[in-house]
């Protein structure tokens, strides 16, 4: 059963009520993580697993799928997700655009570039609703008209993109402003149903025959060319929902990690506890998104600590004049230092089990914009403080309207209405320029993998990130050699 796109997940609050968090601002010395460690003293583990992935967003699920698919028949992978449903945080609050890596050179762009293909193939085989016929117009007012003479649809980059003059762009999108002097037409892009991807990954992790029974044969995270890695076989995958990680310790004697889990935690008053148990794991992957930095407190040295600046992105929906001819995603030129991609126009994909359509008349959105909402000291005091910022900011209606009118002058900004907002888990301060993803696995913390800063294009890059991290675990923890035979399959 495929999941369908559910706007309900994007309303101003999360579907399950979070635990009551202290509202007063704490002095930096008494961080939330330190208070948690006091409240949950060390408990020796009573069970053991091979891999424990923290976070059931698209990143954690992709890593878990990669581990289940490739780390071997006898290995058990646990995913622990604090919400009662998977993918309810950043994974449910984004633009769902499959990016092509055209916005810069970075781990994110490289993964996105490689993964655009994998995601499209994987979604085709696994029947995740997505739209592949879409194109993106990326408008660049810095292009001079002479540059436009380059147009002639030359394409010698790895990104499938073509320079267009302003007039060529307006031939495709007549609603565009006369001020637009040039554009980049990106032909391999699309919109993916993020909840459908989450549902598919859930089945890939837990159901042994899900991939092999999907059309197109066996093709999962980490398994290229339609074949399982030779000699490994599938392991076991278990997803535990409604359970949060409250503490991680290095194992006293041994090479593993001891993770404390609390279920029944939602809605508790401060000082109350749910059911707590302790699990030993050889490998812990921290893919807790906006909660990832706080979980590392006490485990990494001060000079290695990552700081988080959560940044809100508002989306406004639009019904009105000036967009009746739009048939593509339209991005303005990214900001000068590429710290965000610009307030773009997004069309919404409607899915059911058999088809997708774009409803251009009723479902045009503009966003996300950039609204800083806090600093690392806010995260330190309460890593969930961002939950108070989930309603789209009405005060940003005007600036989003102005940004949109620069490339679509016919729109009427008074017809914009607040829709939803997402929070970027940024690990560099606003204005600092492009911030890449961070995947860290240090020899002195063997078996503890940190995945942080997965802002855009994290959704596009998820399956590649899962493949990369599961390969890293096989190599660095389990001592497996790279599967050269597997690599060779693509060249046959």
Ligand X SMILES: Cc1cc2nc3c(=O)[nH]c(=O)nc-3n(C[C@H](O)[C@H](O)[C@H](O)COP(=O)(O)OP(=O)(O)OC[C@H]3O[C@@H](n4cnc5c(N)ncnc54)[C@H](O)[C@@H]3O)c2cc1C
Residues that bind ligand X (CB under 6 A): 54-60, 80-83, 87-91, 93-97, 99, 244-245, 287-291, 295, 313, 368, 422-424, 454-460
Nearer Cβ to ligand X (160/225)? 160
Nearer Cβ to ligand X (83/396)? 83
Give rounded-to-5 percent helix, strand, coil for the chain.
30, 25, 50
Nearer Cβ to ligand X (12/217)? 12
Element (H, E) at 128: none
Helices and strands (H and E) in the chain: how many: 12, 22
Nearer Cβ to ligand X (218/437)? 437
Write down the least CB distance from residue 229 to ligand X, Å.
Answer: 24
State how far Cα 279 lies from the chain centre.
27
Q: Which of 281, 223, 261 is nearest to 68 (CA)?
A: 223
CB 64 within 8 A of CB 202: no
23 Cβ contact partners less than 8 Å away, ≥ 6 residues apart: none
Write down the least CB distance from residue 474 to ligand X, Å.
Answer: 21
Write down the least CB distance from residue 63 to ligand X, Å.
Answer: 9
**CA distance linking residue 151 with residue 138, whole number of Å:** 14
Nearer Cβ to ligand X (148/221)? 221
Nearer Cβ to ligand X (55/66)? 55
Beta strand 76-80 with 236-240: parallel, antiparallel or unpaired?
parallel
Burial of 430 (0-12, 13-18, 19+ CB in 10 A): middle
Nearer Cβ to ligand X (185/390)? 390
Residue with tokens 């000036």: 322
Write down the least CB distance from residue 47 to ligand X, Å.
Answer: 17
Nearer Cβ to ligand X (223/259)? 259
Write down the least CB distance from residue 453 to ligand X, Å.
Answer: 9
Q: Which of 88, 161, 206, 87 is nearest to 462 (CA)?
A: 87
Nearer Cβ to ligand X (232/294)? 294
Burial of 384 (0-12, 13-18, 19+ CB in 10 A): middle
Write down the least CB distance from residue 87 to ligand X, Å.
Answer: 6
Residue nearest to ligand X (CB): 458
Write down the least CB distance from residue 202 to ligand X, Å.
Answer: 12
Nearer Cβ to ligand X (148/464)? 464
**Residue 360 DSSP one-character state:** T
**CA distance linking residue 14 with residue 90, whole number of Å:** 11
Write down the least CB distance from residue 456 to ligand X, Å.
Answer: 4
249 φ, ψ to 5°? Answer: -130, 150
Partners of 429 in the β-ladder: none
Structure tokens at 138: 């990326």
Query: Which stretches does DSSP call E strand in 395-478?
Result: 416-426, 438-440, 448-452
Structure tokens at 97: 């655009």
Provide the 3-class DSSP secondary structure of residue 92.
helix
């Amino acid at each position: 059963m495929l999941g369908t796109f559910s706007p309900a997940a994007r309303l101003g609050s999360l579907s399950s009520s979070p635990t009551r968090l202290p509202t007063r601002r704490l002095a930096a010395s008494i961080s939330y993580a330190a208070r948690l460690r006091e409240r949950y003293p060390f408990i020796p583990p009573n069970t053991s697993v091979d891999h424990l992935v923290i976070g059931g967003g698209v990143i954690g699920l992709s890593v878990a799928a990669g581990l289940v698919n490739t780390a071997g028949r006898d290995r058990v992978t646990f995913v622990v997700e604090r919400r009662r449903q998977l993918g309810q945080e950043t994974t449910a609050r984004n633009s769902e655009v499959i990016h092509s890596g055209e916005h810069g050179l970075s781990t994110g762009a490289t993964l996105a570039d490689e993964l655009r293909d994998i995601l499209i193939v994987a979604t085709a085989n696994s029947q995740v609703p997505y739209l592949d016929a879409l194109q993106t117009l990326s408008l660049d007012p810095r292009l001079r008209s002479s540059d436009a003479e380059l147009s002639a649809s030359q394409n010698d980059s790895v990104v499938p993109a073509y320079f267009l003059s302003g007039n060529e762009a307006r031939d495709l999108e007549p609603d565009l402003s006369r001020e637009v002097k040039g554009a980049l037409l990106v032909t391999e892009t699309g919109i993916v149903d993020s909840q459908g991807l989450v549902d598919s990954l859930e089945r890939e992790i837990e159901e042994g025959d899900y991939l092999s029974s999907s059309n197109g044969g066996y093709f999962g995270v980490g398994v290229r060319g339609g074949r399982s890695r030779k000699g490994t076989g599938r392991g076991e995958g278990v997803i535990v929902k409604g359970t949060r990680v409250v503490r991680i310790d290095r194992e006293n004697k041994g090479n593993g990690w001891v993770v404390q889990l609390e279920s029944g935690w939602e809605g508790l008053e401060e000082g109350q506890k749910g059911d707590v148990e302790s699990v030993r794991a050889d490998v812990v992957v921290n893919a807790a998104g906006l909660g990832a930095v706080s979980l590392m407190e006490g485990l990494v040295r001060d000079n290695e600590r990552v700081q988080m600046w959560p940044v809100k992105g508002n989306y406004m929906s639009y019904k009105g004049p000036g967009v009746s001819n739009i048939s593509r995603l339209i991005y303005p030129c990214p900001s000068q230092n590429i710290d965000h991609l610009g307030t773009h126009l997004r069309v919404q994909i409607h899915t059911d089990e058999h088809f997708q359509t774009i409803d251009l008349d009723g479902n045009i959105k503009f966003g996300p914009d950039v609204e800083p909402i806090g600093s690392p000291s806010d995260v330190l005091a309460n890593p969930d403080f961002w939950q108070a910022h989930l309603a789209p900011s009405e005060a940003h209606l005007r600036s989003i309207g102005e940004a949109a009118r620069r490339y679509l002058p016919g729109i009427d900004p008074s017809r914009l209405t607040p829709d939803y907002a997402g929070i970027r888990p940024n690990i560099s301060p606003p204005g600092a320029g492009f911030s890449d993803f961070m995947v860290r696995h240090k020899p002195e913390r063997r078996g503890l993998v940190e995945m942080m800063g997965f802002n855009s294009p994290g959704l596009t890059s998820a399956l590649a990130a899962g493949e990369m991290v599961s390969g890293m675990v096989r190599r660095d923890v389990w001592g497996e050699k790279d599967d050269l035979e597997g690599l060779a399959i693509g060249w046959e």
